Structures are given as structure tokens and as C-alpha cells.
Amino acid sequence: MKDRLPAPLVSLLHEAGELAEQHRVRVYAVGGFVRDLLLGVTNLDVDLVVEGNGIAFARTFARKRQARVTVHERFGTAVVTLEDGFKFDVATARTESYDSPAALPTVKQGSIKEDLARRDFTINTLAISLNAPRFGEVVDDDGGRRDLQNKSIRVLHPLSFIEDPTRVFRAVRFEQRLGFRLDAETATLMKEEATRDAIQRLSPARLSKEMILVLSERQPRTVLARLADFDLLRCIHPELKWSPELARLLKDVEETLTWHDRLARDRLIRQWVVYHLALMDSLPTPAVQETLSRFTFPRGQTRRTLWVTQEGPRLLRTLNQRTTPSEVFRLLRDLPDETLLFFMAKIQSESEQQKISTLFTPESATPVLKGNDLKAMGLKPGPVYQRVLDRLLDARLDGEVTTEADEREFVARLRSSASSADLS
Ligand code: CTP
């Protein structure tokens, strides 16, 4: 841990262990945090499980560190957010039983062993003891370390997918993210689950959450391709099929997002929305409508997606006819970044892409001169200012002016030219 985690985080984990010892409970780091730690992958989202009252432990820990704590009584969980930005999710160790497939489980307090035994894949069942005398000891009852080494995704028991069908999506996500492989028996169980109805009966909320997670992975294209191997794209819509065209569009989205990440990373976007637009693009409109009415995406997003699939083709055709960057800018300036990125991925012409890319670099789309400068140049304040600034913006976008001196000259020309009539 000392080699792979920031020193302040290691001391926080030590402190949690000492506190647990004082309060006679046992505390463990678990799940993805431990998996990634052993793989050497950066993951600072710490999940703690307490044998005992997890919420009480979280409250005491937060008080001691003067940290913020958010409690979810109903789930027996809490989130402690520490001043230096670290975040601990704290849960009470529990056992779960399922009354019927795809239903939510009944939960009772339990031991760490029981807590780990209810999890999805062996690689997620590893825990690290934090209590002072056994700090750093790995708990590995289900062969998690062996499977990490073999790069294998393996369920703990044959009913795993039946108990929780969302695990089919998780299996493929982990497989592709980590470069692992489903073990043979797990793949067989998954094929069986994929043909069952239960997967189609998942609630819209759970299915939507899984879709967003799939489309938020580093490379959704490979995850979607693998879902297609199991005929699981039909969970999105029965008409959604894997095709060379879809694969290519997803690859183009990938490249566009890499571009965005390099050049405009301070403009936060929701990657999943761009990929979702690409998926919807390969469906006919009625199928898009059916998909959107089934999923529980935020309402505004649903409306925007429908708009893009209906209006996008027309807009892209218009874009083809508009020649100047300023025309393109005015046509697209009010669209969300995700839509623009989708359009960039969708169109093949590099010069068209470049015109859209201007919308991500506002510095190249803002005149140097402001209202005050126009006033100093003797222009009478009024609505004319907006018109002059608009003309200046176009001139800048189209490369007619680049420096402040150019802009001043441009305004002077504008005032004295015949077109000054439009400025009054
Ligand atoms: N889990 C499970 N079955 C599910 C969802 C979660 O068994 N359907 C368990 C897994 O053991 C997982 C833990 O709950 O390790 C926490 O879930 P989550 O935060 O989704 O998983 P991570 O492994 O942390 O995944 P990620 O790296 O994607 O955050």
C-alpha cells in the first residue's frame, strides 16, 4: 500500500484501523479499491466494510477527522468526505438473500466472509484488514488473487447471474476494461442468462444505470462489441445490431473524444451521451422513440437525443453547404457540447470538423475589442454595438482579422464604408 497509494491516504487507513480496534469492531477495505490496488491501477475510491455498525463507525471517524458524513440509514451505508478530497464509502457487513430473480435482495447484518460471498466476481471479493494488529493482511477466500493473476472473470456460484442479471453487463465491463477474459463456465452461465427473460424484465432504472456505466467506460466500443457476442444489444433495442458501420462510428466517437480530452478538457462533458447518440443514430426513428421511452435518462437528455436523431441529418446537410466558419458557428453555437462532438464524429470531412471545433476554443471566437473600446473610438452607444461586435466576431472566425490593430482597422472601415448604413 505504501508504494502504491498516496501517503496521506495510507495514514487515513491506519487511523481507521486504530479507531476500529478502540471500538471493538473490524474494518476492511474491499471491492474495486482492493482489486485495483493489487493490479497497480490508480483507484482512490475507498470502500470500507465494518463488521459491526458501519454508520456509527463512519460518524465516529468523521468526527475525529472533522470530515463531512452523509448517512443512508435505509442501506446501512455512509460516505465520509475528508478535507484533503479523499472519500470513504462505509458499509455494514451484510448477508443478502434473493426472493425472486431480478428482485432487490433482503439484507441482514453479517460477517466479512458473508459480505464477500454475496459479491459478483472473485476479483471483487478481496479485502484488506485495517485493524491495527492485522493491518494490510489480504482476505482471499474465493480465489480472487489467483483470478487476478490468470486475468479471469469468474462468478462465485452458478446462480450469480440469476440473482442479479445486471452482472452480465458488469462482467463484460470488467473483462474489457482490465483486458481479462470470462472463464469458460462463467461465459456459459452468461449465455444462458442472456437468453432468459429476466434480463428484459430489469427495471428501466437499473437498465439505464447499467447502460450509462457501459457507455462511460474508457472504450465502450469493445464493451458493446462483446455485449453483441452475447446478443445483449437487444436489451437496448431489439433492432440494434452490431455492424461495421456502427463499429466505425463508435471508433470515430472515440477519436473525437480523445481530441476533446487533449484540447478542451476543462469543458466537462458526459461521454456516455455522445456514445448514446451514436447508438441511436443507427436506429430508425420509431425505434429511437421506443428506446427513449423505456430508459429513464434525465428528461432534458431524452428530448435532446430525439432532437438530434430527427434534426441531425438535415443540419449536417446544411453544414455541408455553409462555407464560412462564421456561418457554421452561428448555426451550431447553442447546441450542447455532446451534440457537437457527435456531429464531429459523424461527419467525415476534416475541414467540416475543423469548423465545428472552433466552438470548443472560445478564445479564437472572441473579439479583442469590447464595448468600451468602441466608445473610445467614438461610436455612439446603442444597439449598433452588438452589430459591430457580431461583425467583428465573424471577421475573426473567418480569419479576416487576427490582431487588435486589425480589429480597429476593421471597425474604422466598417464606419466609413457604404455598409455603415446597417450600423446606424
Ligand atoms: N457488486 C456486486 N453485484 C453488483 C454490483 C456490485 O456484487 N451487481 C459488488 C462488487 O463486489 C463490487 C462492489 O459491490 O466490487 C461495489 O460495486 P461497484 O462500486 O459498482 O464496483 P467496483 O468494483 O468498485 O467497480 P468500479 O471499478 O466500476 O467502480
Out of 1.25.10.10, 1.10.110.30, 3.90.550.10, 1.10.10.10, the CATH code matching 151-235 is 1.10.110.30
pTM of model > 0.75: yes
Going from the Cα of 290 to the center of ligand 1, the distance in angstroms, rounded, reads 30
Vertex 131 angle, CA 126 and 137, to 5°: 40
Of all protein residues, whose CA lies closest to atom 13 belonging to ligand 1? 31
Place of cell 476543462: 266
Q: What is the distance in A from the centroid of ligand 1 to the CA of 140?
A: 17
Given phi > 0 = left and psi -120 to 50 = alpha, else beta, which region is 322? Answer: beta
Measured in Å, residue 15 CA sits from the centre of ligand 1 at 25
Q: Residue 31: left (phi > 0), alpha (psi -120 to 50), or beta?
A: left
CA atoms of 59 and 90, how far apart (whole Å): 10
The torsion defined by the Cα of 93, 98, 172 and 45, in degrees rounded to 10, comes to -20
CB 151 within 8 A of CB 179: yes
> Cell digits for 383?
444597439
Ligand 1 atom closest to the CA of 43, numbered from 1: 27
Ligand 1 centroid to 54 CA: how many Å?
Answer: 18
For residue 57, pLDDT over 50 is answered with yes
Please indicate whether residue 154, judged by its CB atom, sits closer than 6 Å to ligand 1: no
Give the model's pLDDT for residue 99: 67
Q: Is the pLDDT of residue 320 over 90?
A: no
- Grid cell digits, residue 223: 464493451
d(CA 221, CA 190): 20
Q: What is the mean pLDDT of residues 60-75?
A: 93
State if residue 166 touches ligand 1 by the CB under 6 angstroms criterion: yes
How many whole angstroms separate alpha carbon 28 and alpha carbon 138? Answer: 9
Count CA atoms closer than 13 A to 335's CA, side-chain side: 25
Residue 48 Cα distances to 28, 55, 60, 224, 258, angstroms: 5, 11, 14, 31, 34
| CATH top-level class of 246-362 | mainly alpha
**Contact in structure between 161 and 168 (CB atoms under 8 Å):** yes
pLDDT value for 423 = 58
Cβ–Cβ < 8 Å for 102, 207: no
Closest CA to 331 of 298, 359, 303: 359
* Residues 6 or more apart whose Cβ sits within 8 Å of residue 158: 185, 189
- The 10s digit of each residue's pLDDT in 159-203 is 999 999 999 999 999 999 999 999 999 999 999 999 988 888 889
Q: Give the pLDDT confidence of 114-127 residue by residue, as tens digits.
A: 999 999 999 999 99
Ligand 1 pocket test target in 47, 77, 223 with most atoms within 8 Å of CB: 47
Backbone angles phi, psi at 322, to 5 degrees: -75, 135
Q: Which residue has the cell 438473500?
A: 97
Query: Does 119 contact ligand 1 (Cβ within 6 A)?
Result: yes
Q: Is the CB of 32 under 6 A from ligand 1?
A: yes
- For residue 213, give the ligand 1 atom closest to its CA: 28
Check whether 23 has a pLDDT greater than 70. yes
Alpha helices, H only, 26-128: 32-39, 54-65, 112-117
- Pairing between β-strand 45-51 and β-strand 87-92 as defined by DSSP bridges: parallel
| Ligand 1 touching residue 167 (CB < 6 A) | yes
Query: Does ligand 1 have an atom closer than 6 angstroms to the CB of 105?
Result: no
94 CB within 6 A, ligand 1: no
Span from the CA of 56 to the centroid of ligand 1 (angstroms): 23
Cell numbers for 317, please give them: 446537410
* Cell numbers for 113: 466472509
**SS3 assignment, position 264:** coil
If you measure from the C-alpha of residue 423 to the centroid of ligand 1, how many angstroms do you get, rounded to a whole number?
62
124 lines ligand 1 (CB under 6 A): yes
Whole-number Å distance, alpha carbon 32 to ligand 1 midpoint, is 6
Q: What is the pLDDT of residues 330-365, one digit of tens each?
A: 888 889 999 999 999 999 888 888 888 888 877 777
Stretch 367-374: mean pLDDT: 89
Establish whether residue 304 lines the binding site of ligand 1, counting it when its CB lies within 6 angstroms of any ligand atom: no
User: What percentage of residues in the chain have a pLDDT greater than 90?
Assistant: 67
Phi and psi, residue 30, nearest 5°: -140, 175
Residue identified by cell 484501523 is 17
123 and 144 Cβ atoms separated by less than 8 Å: yes
CATH superfamily of 7-150: Beta Polymerase, domain 2 (3.30.460.10)
pLDDT above 70: residue 24: yes
Strand-strand pairing, 152-153 and 45-51? unpaired
The Cβ-side half-sphere exposure at 160, using a 13 Å CA radius, reads 24
Nearest ligand 1 atom, CA 116: 11
Question: Residue 419 has what pLDDT?
Answer: 52
Q: Is the CB of 164 under 6 A from ligand 1?
A: yes
pLDDT at 418: 46
Amino acid type, 89 = D
